[in-house]
């Protein structure tokens, strides 16, 4: 796979009993590919005796201005356990460059950040970047099991001291306060309902936070969500399926990087595979339609899903589709990455 780069581990930081930050050295010639926006993630190829490798996404917890490329991983299962236990300084690992759409369109706004557990990772990058480059106010509501499991506790306290008028951090400690319910999150978020909201954490926390914001009347377009889950496929091992000669095609129009392209699209081929086969530089990471990196907008026509992914009803309503898993239904389809 063309985009895979082998990175070297420069530093391993013990954040909590269960979480490690890994800082990578980017090899000469790949700096531009590893430039990232706060909120984006890397995809790591984790070796496995059982399957050769597994692919896991990890959000960048560093901010671009810090001049480092760092992910933070909480040990929960096979892949994260391997990262936390086996990755040492000097180790090499195959990585796909930064991807993802959990990014702020402008850092110059007021932010409402809602994070739980390892969900702090992309939120931390956005928070630090907004404080450094923006001028707005930032509120972070951060839920954790107990005080010992708060990742970046000291760094957050230092940031509050450095930006007293701009950053407010509200810690929610479950061992003391119970699970953060939608009702409690509604109360905490109410004064900030006019802001752009960024959410990341375990599924029950995300559900509660979304309910709270809906009740508060925060419009859907101002609520940004990053869902953590494990990829079921492996983009490091995949090659696009060949297309039989003489296959029926649809006509595809793509707006990408300021240009419009029109190509024939074989009906059995997934959109992302076809764009890459046509030499178009469409963004992607997992190649399955699970990680959101390949998202584009369906402008006209109809496409169908090939796998059993569960689409987000609100994304569908907004016309967002995941090209890694879509084939044409209508004879004409138009999509846009703009
Ligand atoms: C966009 C995005 C960003 C993310 N960012 C972060 C982040 O910043 N920090 C973070 O901690 N997490 C993050 N995640 C979640 C992360 O990608 C993983 O889902 C999480 O670490 C759990 O993976 P795991 O392999 O440890 O656990 P699981 O996925 O629960 O592992 C169990 C799976 O591994 C398989 N397995 C077990 N043993 C083996 C073996 N020997 N070989 C092969 N397979 C085996 C099992 O069959 C099972 O399917 C993010 C996810 C996404 C999509």
| Residue 215 and residue 263 in one domain | no
Residue nearest to atom 15 of ligand 1 (CA): 228
**Largest Cα–Cα distance in the chain?**
66
Helix-helix angle 203-215:182-189, to 10 degrees: 50
Strand partners, 198: 113, 224
Q: What percent of the chain has pLDDT over 90?
A: 75
Q: pLDDT, tens digit, for every residue of 139-161?
A: 999 999 999 999 999 999 999 99
238 pLDDT above the threshold of 90: no
User: How many C-alpha atoms does 84 have within 13 Å on its Cβ side?
Assistant: 17
| Residue 124 and residue 94 in one domain | no
Is residue 292 domain-resident?
yes
Ligand 1 — pocket residues by CB below 6 A? 41, 48, 50-51, 54, 56-59, 71-74, 76-81, 100, 118, 121, 226, 228-230, 291
Is residue 124 a contact partner of residue 152, using CB atoms and an 8 Å limit? Answer: yes
CB atoms within 10 A of CB 321: 22
- Under DSSP, is residue 183 helix (H, G, I), strand (E, B) or coil? helix
Instruction: Assign 3-class secondary structure to 65-124.
Output: HHCCEEEEEECCCHHHHHHHHHCCCCCEEEEEEEECCCCCCCCCCCEEEEEEHHHHHHHH
Give the Å distances, CA to CA, from 12 to 6, 71, 77.
17, 10, 19
| Residue 125 and residue 209 in one domain | yes
| Residue 221 and residue 117 in one domain | yes
Residue nearest to atom 37 of ligand 1 (CA): 78
Which mutation among 230, 294, 309 tests ligand 1's pocket best, with the greatest number of atoms within 8 A of CB? 230
Q: For residue 241, what pLDDT band results from cuts at 50, 70 and 90? A: low
Q: Pick the closest to residue 8 from 78, 82, 75, 69 (CA basis).
A: 69
| Residue 129 and residue 217 in one domain | yes
1 pLDDT above the threshold of 60: no
The more confident residue out of 86 and 239 is: 86
Which mutation among 47, 59, 86, 228 tests ligand 1's pocket best, with the greatest number of atoms within 8 A of CB? 228
pLDDT of residue 46: 97
The more confident residue out of 251 and 268 is: 251
The CATH number of residue 51's host domain is: 2.40.30.10
| Residue 154 and residue 48 in one domain | no
What is the span of the domain harbouring residue 178? 111-226
| Residue 133 and residue 173 in one domain | yes
CA 28 – ligand 1 centroid, Å: 29
Is residue 232 domain-resident?
no
Q: Pick the closest to residue 290 from 273, 312, 269 (CA basis).
A: 312
Strand partners, 199: 114, 225
| Phi and psi, residue 104, nearest 5° | -85, 135
Please tell me the distance from the alpha carbon of residue 30 to that of residue 122, in angstroms, as a whole number.
22
CA 224 – ligand 1 centroid, Å: 22
pLDDT of residue 338: 82
CA 5 – ligand 1 centroid, Å: 20
Boundary-marking domain end, from 99, 127, 158:
99
| Residue 115 and residue 179 in one domain | yes
User: What mean pLDDT comes out for the span 220-244?
Assistant: 84
Q: pLDDT, tens digit, for every residue of 210-219?
A: 999 999 999 9
CA 125 – ligand 1 centroid, Å: 21
Is residue 160 domain-resident?
yes
The CATH number of residue 164's host domain is: 3.40.50.80
pLDDT of residue 288: 74
pLDDT of residue 285: 78
Is residue 193 domain-resident?
yes
Residue nearest to atom 4 of ligand 1 (CA): 58
Q: pLDDT, tens digit, for every residue of 175-203?
A: 999 999 999 999 999 999 999 999 999 99
Which residues lie below 8 Å from residue 45, measured CB to CB, with a gap of 6+?
A: 4, 53, 54, 55, 93, 94, 95, 236
Boundary-marking domain end, from 99, 133, 155:
99
* Stretch (H or E) spanning 42: strand 41-48
pLDDT of residue 310: 46
Is residue 41 domain-resident?
yes
Is residue 150 a contact partner of residue 171, using CB atoms and an 8 Å limit? Answer: yes
116 pLDDT above the threshold of 50: yes
33 pLDDT above the threshold of 90: yes
The CATH number of residue 310's host domain is: 3.10.20.30
CA 42 – ligand 1 centroid, Å: 13
Boundary-marking domain end, from 71, 99, 127:
99
| Residue 331 and residue 268 in one domain | yes
Q: How many structural domains are present in the chain?
A: 3
| Residue 174 and residue 275 in one domain | no
Is residue 105 domain-resident?
no
CA 48 – ligand 1 centroid, Å: 13
Q: pLDDT, tens digit, for every residue of 289-325?
A: 777 788 888 999 998 876 545 455 556 666 788 888 7
Is residue 243 domain-resident?
no
Q: pLDDT, tens digit, for every residue of 49-108?
A: 999 999 999 999 999 999 999 999 999 999 999 999 999 999 999 999 999 889 998 999
Is residue 216 domain-resident?
yes
| Residue 123 and residue 66 in one domain | no
CA 314 – ligand 1 centroid, Å: 25
pTM: 0.88
């Amino acid at each position: 796979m063309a985009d895979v780069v082998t990175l070297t581990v420069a530093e391993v930081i013990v954040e909590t009993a269960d979480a490690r930050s890994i800082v990578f050295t980017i090899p000469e010639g790949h700096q531009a590919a590893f430039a990232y926006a706060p909120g984006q993630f890397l995809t790591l190829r984790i070796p496995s005796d059982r399957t050769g490798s597994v692919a896991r996404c990890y959000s960048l917890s560093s901010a671009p201005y810090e001049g480092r490329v760092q992910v933070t991983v909480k040990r929960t299962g096979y892949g994260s356990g391997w990262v936390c236990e086996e990755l040492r300084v000097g180790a090499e690992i195959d990585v796909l460059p930064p991807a993802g759409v959990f990014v702020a369109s402008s850092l110059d706004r007021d932010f409402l950040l809602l994070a739980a557990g390892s969900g702090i990772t992309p939120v931390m990058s956005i928070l630090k970047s907004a404080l450094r480059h923006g001028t707005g106010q930032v509120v972070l509501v951060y839920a954790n099991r107990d005080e010992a499991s708060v990742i970046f506790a000291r760094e957050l306290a230092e940031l509050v001291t450095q930006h007293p008028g701009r950053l407010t951090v509200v810690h929610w400690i479950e061992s003391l306060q119970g699970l953060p319910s939608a009702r409690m999150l509604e109360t905490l978020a109410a004064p900030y309902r006019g802001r752009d909201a960024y959410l990341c954490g375990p599924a029950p926390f995300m559900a509660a936070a979304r309910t709270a914001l809906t009740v508060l009347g925060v419009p859907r377009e101002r609520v940004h969500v990053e869902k953590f889950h494990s990829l079921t496929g492996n983009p490091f091992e995949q090659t696009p399926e060949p297309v039989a000669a003489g296959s029926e095609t649809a006509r595809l129009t793509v707006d990408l990087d300021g240009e419009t392209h029109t190509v024939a699209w074989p009906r059995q081929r997934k959109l992302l595979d076809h764009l890459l086969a046509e030499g178009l530089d469409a963004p992607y990471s997992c190649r399955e339609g699970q990680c959101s990196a390949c998202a584009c907008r369906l402008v006209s026509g109809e496409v169908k899903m090939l796998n059993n992914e569960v689409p987000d009803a609100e994304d569908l309503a907004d016309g967002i589709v995941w090209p890694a898993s879509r084939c044409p239904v209508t004879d004409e389809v138009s999509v846009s990455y703009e």
